[in-house]
Amino acid sequence: AAKNLNNDLLGLDANGVNNSGGAFFIIFLAPLAGLVWIWLSKRELEPNTVIKFGLGFIFLGLGYYTLFATKFFANAEGVTSLRFFTIALLIITFGELCLSPIGLSIMTKLSTQNLQGMMMGLWFLASAYGQYVAGLIGANMATAKHGTSNLEALITYAESYKQLAIYAVIAGVILIIISPFVKKLMQDVR
């Protein structure tokens, strides 16, 4: 996939900081996301936890769809702008902010006092397992054979991201649909 990206971002070679993009976006978006939830809460418009999880998956799907769309803007050699990757990372990071801090909070709120530590550990264990599964999916996506052109490899990656986008959006919509039922199970926990 690295061969399919133009490394120039706003006139700078972004290779040195490319992997730091997610952390950069989290640092700057986390306060904004917190302010949005507070603002919505004051107006009694804040979505419940399950809807926030669903929104997180929908943002993930939109980020993957942005990666899919790179194939429409690639040059004849199959190289596309790093801007699309950066935009996708921004969207995915916003989705992460709809899920991760809220998930950590709800783990402690829904657990009994003596199980909170174990439940937090299970949350992080699930995250670690998710990273492992993401690695398997990524390895499966990298099916371009040796000698394949960059354009053919880009099309292969893009189609895989399209599938992931569809699955993520479907999961998000399902979570939003079942949120009233889950909210009843959670009782007054917000």
Using an 8 Å Cβ cutoff, are 41 and 176 in contact? no
User: Pairing state of beta strands 12-13 and 8-9?
Assistant: antiparallel
Strands (E), the chain: 5-6, 8-9, 12-13, 80-81
What single DSSP character describes residue 15?
A: G
Q: Sort residue 9 into left (φ over 0), alpha (ψ -120 to 50) or beta.
A: beta
Q: What is the pLDDT of residues 10-69, one digit of tens each?
A: 777 776 666 788 899 999 999 999 999 999 999 999 999 999 999 999 999 999 999 999
What's the pTM value of the predicted model, to 2 decimals?
Answer: 0.89
Domain of 180, in residue numbers:
2-186
Q: How far is CA 103 from CA 111, 121, 178, in A?
A: 12, 12, 17
Q: What is the pLDDT of residue 16?
A: 64
Please state the domain count of the chain.
Answer: 1
CB proximity list for 93: less than 8 A, separation 6 or greater: 22, 25, 26, 29
How far is residue 15's CA from residue 96's CA, in Å, rounded to a whole number?
Answer: 23
Q: What is the pLDDT of residues 50-67, one digit of tens each?
A: 999 999 999 999 999 999
> What pLDDT band is residue 109 in, cutting at 50, 70 and 90?
confident
pLDDT at 114 over 80: yes
User: Pairing state of beta strands 80-81 and 5-6?
Assistant: parallel
Domain containing residue 37: CATH number: 1.20.1250.20
Q: What is the dihedral angle through the alpha carbons of 15, 17, 23, 27, rounded to the nearest 10 degrees? A: -130
Most confident of 2-16, 28-42, 74-88, 102-116: 28-42
Share of the chain above pLDDT 90, in %: 55
CB atoms within 10 A of CB 16: 9
